């Protein structure tokens, strides 16, 4: 495991948003991804599981552990914010954080306060790489993470409007796209509009996909294949583009490391 973001030289693919700790067998999942040369950014949904994720990943050079507090867990777990503040200095990777308005807007003010606190914890010393959830709250996220925010922002499974995507792209933000997005009309339309140099791939595994199987890191190979066709460049060029985009995130983060 690495917290500074050094990519093994043989890595070919990136899963920029995966919940390794929620798989039935996290070690087997990471081992299989290593064999397929897939780098993984392993989300955590609450700060108290970050250390355990680090332990799980300690033998894997392709896994980066991210520190997170999922917006849907803010109400229950906001007492872990001090722990988030403490751990934020130790890792370049943050996620899953964000806001979620799918169950109504009542929880959004509390989610916003927690997000503001976590963003403030990210400022000192280094540029963090953030994987951000924004379901039914894309306008809120564009407001919460101000244009000059000194970190690398990756919008995970973005489902806001094309206009909002454009605003995010103009700010230099990235987008991690997954298999579900390549199979929905809105997702396909979004992907067709994104600047290619801002596109990353993700699985959001082990979420249940529509056809009854669970997502996992290997999904990113199919996503890359889709991107190759959508961009009209073929699979290999799309793979290189996505990997290059992820390397740019890592370099931007390194350049600021203490």
Binding site for Mn ion (CB under 5 A): 96, 204
Q: CB of residue 125 vs Mn ion: minimum separation in angstroms?
A: 26
Residues in the chain: 258
Tell me whether residue 15 or residue 107 sits nearer to Mn ion (CB atom). 15
**CA-closest candidate to residue 57, choices 177, 217, 179:** 217
Q: DSSP H helical segments within the chain, as ranges?
A: 26-35, 50-56, 74-77, 81-87, 108-122, 138-144, 162-170, 179-182, 185-193, 219-231, 235-254
Tell me whether residue 18 or residue 228 sits nearer to Mn ion (CB atom). 18
Q: CB of residue 17 vs Mn ion: minimum separation in angstroms?
A: 6
CB 11 within 8 A of CB 38: yes
Q: CB of residue 176 vs Mn ion: minimum separation in angstroms?
A: 10
Q: CB of residue 163 vs Mn ion: minimum separation in angstroms?
A: 24
Tell me whether residue 107 or residue 204 sits nearer to Mn ion (CB atom). 204
Tell me whether residue 134 or residue 241 sits nearer to Mn ion (CB atom). 134
In angstroms, the Cα distances linking 191 to 103, 168, 183, 227 are 26, 14, 11, 8
């Amino acid at each position: 495991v690495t917290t500074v973001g050094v990519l093994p030289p043989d890595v070919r693919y990136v899963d920029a948003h995966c919940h390794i700790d929620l798989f039935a067998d996290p070690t087997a999942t990471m081992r299989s991804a290593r064999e397929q040369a897939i780098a993984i950014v392993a989300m955590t949904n609450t700060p108290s599981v970050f250390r355990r994720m680090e332990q799980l990943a300690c033998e894997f050079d392709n896994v980066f552990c991210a520190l997170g507090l999922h917006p849907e867990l803010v109400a229950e777990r906001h007492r872990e914010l001090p722990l988030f503040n403490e751990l934020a200095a130790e890792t370049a990777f943050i996620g899953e954080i964000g806001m979620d308005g799918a169950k109504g807007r009542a929880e959004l003010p509390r989610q916003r306060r927690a997000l503001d606190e976590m963003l403030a914890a990210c400022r000192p010393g280094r540029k963090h790489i953030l994987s951000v959830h924004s379901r039914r709250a894309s306008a809120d996220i564009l407001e919460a993470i101000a244009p000059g925010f000194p970190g690398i922002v990756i919008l995970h499974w973005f489902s806001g409007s094309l206009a909002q995507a454009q605003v995010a792209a103009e700010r230099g933000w990235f987008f991690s796209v997954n298999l579900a997005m390549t199979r929905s009309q809105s997702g396909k339309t979004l992907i067709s509009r994104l600047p290619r140099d801002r596109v990353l791939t993700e699985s959001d595994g082990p979420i249940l996909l529509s056809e009854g199987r669970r997502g996992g890191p290997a999904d990113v190979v199919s996503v890359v294949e889709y991107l190759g066709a959508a961009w009209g460049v073929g699979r290999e060029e799309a793979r290189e583009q996505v990997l290059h985009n992820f390397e740019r995130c890592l370099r931007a983060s390194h350049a600021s490391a203490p």
